[in-house]
Amino acid sequence: MVAITKDAGAFVTTRRPNTTITLMDMPRQWVKRYDLRQKLAVMDSRMLRDIGWNVFDARREAAKPFWKA
């Protein structure tokens, strides 16, 4: 099971120093974002509160397309 927090890697843009991004990294990141956003979309306010999110922020994050960080 994946832990969802505001600091989840799918929502945080990180840069690798002196390393090029491989072609496979981007689709993997998209799938991870899509999965986490789908999970956020179905959580109720109690569950969101437990992981440190509010309903407004979760809905806004869940509405983003998978390619946006």
Q: What is the pLDDT of residues 14-62, one digit of tens each?
A: 555 545 667 788 999 999 999 999 999 999 999 999 999 999 999 999 9
> Is residue 47 domain-resident?
yes
> Is residue 3 domain-resident?
no
Number of domain units in the chain: 1
> Is residue 7 domain-resident?
no
Mean pLDDT computed over 61-65:
95
Q: Please name the amino acid found at residue 46.
A: R
3-state secondary structure at position 64: coil
Question: What pTM does this model have?
Answer: 0.66
> Is residue 62 domain-resident?
yes
> Is residue 8 domain-resident?
no
| Total residue length of the chain | 69
Cα gap 24→39, rounded to integer Å: 23
> Is residue 14 domain-resident?
no
Domain extent for 66: 23-69
pLDDT at res. 9: 61
More confident residue, 63 or 14: 63
